[in-house]
Amino acid sequence: MAAKPSLAFLSSESEKARLARERLVDRYGSVPVEDADVIVPLGGDGFMLETLHRYKALAKPIYGMQRGSVGFLMNEYQEDDLPLRVAKAQSYKLHPLRMRAKTLSGEQTEGLAINEVALLRETRQTAKIRIQVDGIVRLEELIGDGVMVSTPAGSTAYNLSAHGPIIPLGAGALALTPICPFRPRRWRGAVLPYAARVLFQILEPEKRPVSAVADFTEVRDVVEVEVIEDRSVGLTLLFDPEHNLEERILKEQFTP
Q: Return the pLDDT at 249.
A: 72
Nearest-angstrom CA–CA distance, 218 and 155:
20
Domains in the chain (CATH in brackets) are 7-94+234-252 (3.40.50.10330), 97-229 (2.60.200.30)
Distances (CA, A) of 41 to 13, 80, 235: 11, 16, 14
Question: How many CA atoms, within 13 angstroms, populate the side-chain half-sphere of residue 240?
Answer: 16
Question: Tens of pLDDT along the chain (256 residues)?
Answer: 556 899 999 999 999 999 999 999 999 999 999 999 999 999 998 999 999 999 999 999 999 999 987 777 899 999 999 999 999 999 989 999 999 999 999 999 999 999 999 999 999 999 999 999 999 999 999 999 999 999 998 998 899 999 999 888 778 899 999 999 999 988 999 999 999 999 999 999 999 999 999 998 999 999 999 999 999 999 999 999 876 667 767 777 777 6
Q: Do strands 38-43 and 7-11 pair parallel, antiparallel, or not at all (unpaired)?
A: parallel
Nearest-angstrom CA–CA distance, 44 and 74:
7
Closest CA to 92 of 255, 240, 256: 240
Per-position b or e across 13-32, b if 16+ CB within 10 A of its CB = ebebbeebbeebeeebebee
Whether 45 is catalytic: yes
Q: Return the pLDDT at 153.
A: 87
Distances (CA, A) of 81 to 7, 28, 69, 115, 147: 13, 10, 24, 31, 44
Question: How many CA atoms, within 13 angstroms, populate the side-chain half-sphere of residue 14?
Answer: 15
Query: Helices then strands (H, E): number in the chain?
Result: 5, 16
Question: How many CA atoms, within 13 angstroms, populate the side-chain half-sphere of residue 32?
Answer: 3
Q: Return the pLDDT at 256.
A: 67
Nearest-angstrom CA–CA distance, 22 and 11:
9
Nearest-angstrom CA–CA distance, 133 and 143:
18
Q: Running DSSP on this structure, what letter comes out for residue 75?
A: B
- Selected catalytic residue, list 45, 134, 145, 240: 45
Q: Return the pLDDT at 67.
A: 95
